[in-house]
Amino acid sequence: MAFDWIVVGLGAMGSAAAYHLARKGVKVLGLEQFGMNHQNGSSHGRSRIIRSAYFEGPAYVPLVKRAFQLWGQLEAEYGVRLLLQTGGLMIGRPDGPLLTGAMRSAREHGLEYQVLSSDKIQERFPVFRVPPDHVGLYERAAGILIPEMCIEAALQLAQRNGAALRFREKVVGWGADDRGVEVRTDRASYTAHGIIFAAGPWNTTLLGDLNLPLKCERQVVFWFQPTVRRDLFSADNMPIFIWESDGPTIFYGIPEFDGQGVKVARHHGGECAPPEQIRRQVTPEDEQPVRDFLRTHMPWADGPILSATTCLYTNTPDGHFIIDFHPRHRNVIIISACSGHGFKFASSIGEVVQELALEGRSRLNLEPFALKRFNI
């Protein structure tokens, strides 16, 4: 069966790529080894942060600015709310990587922000206990994406525009040359002009010839029930936050909405293993560092655990993305390896992939995400 482009992996990046290609009239096949919105990868978890004052580097700001616009477009087209504005706080010592990086991005791109002292943070947001040597960068436009709904919207609209989606169908082999690609699954074989690999940690196996320097890291996220003043933890009163604590260790949190509880987790620090071998059971050892953080900085949130889950980070050595052509095939595109901070960009990366597939280049600067930095 012949297609124009095949997308392997239908999580955040793959669903967005399928959507943008299908909207352009491209004959798309999407392949996913699990079901839609499965719990085995990196795209589940009920909520994701979106922010613009990007401490990871100014190169991300144009990409996230466009992402905000495209999430709005997807919301309007699908008719379901996908993005909730809460404001966002980056908290830490003023000379730490989190604050210096966020301010650098904000200044370089003329973003609107406020710097708040520890006293001002606590006065404005009483749920936080902030050491006197910490400050905050407040970004009004930051907020929450609802990941499962984002993926559902992209896939449903891709289908409405003619995309064929195959779930629970695993890719077992592929080949490419100047004439096109052939993909073999555990059910069938397909041909197309090109292929897009958006399979997160499974890209390592699917692209074994490249020896991609990726590590799959286990992450655990928790939802807590506040012990007092639950209203102060609502999305109307509490911003999303990223907090560079001592270590430096980074924790992040998302306010309560839809009765789910307050989401808090440590950013990085999990064990690495192939995705099939990741431990899925949440243990007291996973809970302890998050409890310690809450007791120090958010004591009113230190209540019962309402739920917890594991997810995966697919990390590159430098923490930056991969968005590039295969070094030997211009009809093979590799995306993802987002190192734990990628979901917010899915809408704009989907558009970037569409540009690469149809025009051979993107309007945005993709140099920081090229494979050549790994000598590939």
> What is the reported pLDDT for 337?
84
Q: Could you tell me which of 33, 24, 333, 371 has the C-alpha nearest to residue 196?
A: 333
Distances from the Cα of 71 to the Cα of 121, 154, 235, 282, angstroms: 29, 10, 19, 32
pLDDT at 248: 79
What is the C-alpha to C-alpha distance for residues 191 and 135, in angstroms, rounded to an integer?
55
- What pLDDT was estimated at residue 257? 94
Q: What is the pLDDT of residues 306-349, one digit of tens each?
A: 999 999 999 999 999 999 999 999 999 999 889 999 999 999 99
* In the predicted structure, residue 24 carries a pLDDT above the cut 80: yes
Alpha-carbon distances of 54 from 100, 215, 242, 355, 371, rounded to whole Å:
10, 23, 11, 24, 22
**Which of 43-57, 234-248, 289-303, 314-328 has the weakest average pLDDT?**
234-248
The tens digit of pLDDT for each residue in 255-285 reads 999 999 999 999 999 999 999 999 999 999 9
pTM to 2 decimals?
A: 0.97
Over range 139-163, report the average pLDDT. 98
Q: Write the DSSP string, 125-153.
A: -TT----TT-EEEEETT-EEE-HHHHHHH
Q: Is the peptide bond before 132 cis (omega within 30 degrees of 0)?
A: no
Over residues 223-250, the pLDDT tens digits come to 999 999 999 999 999 999 999 987 679 9
Percent over 70 (pLDDT), the chain:
99
Q: Which domains does the chain have, with CATH numbers?
A: 2-44+148-210+318-374 (3.50.50.60), 71-143+215-315 (3.30.9.10)
Counting DSSP H helices and E strands in the chain, the numbers are 8, 19
- C-beta of residue 191 within 8 angstroms of C-beta of residue 181: yes
Neighbours of 269 (CB within 10 A): 15
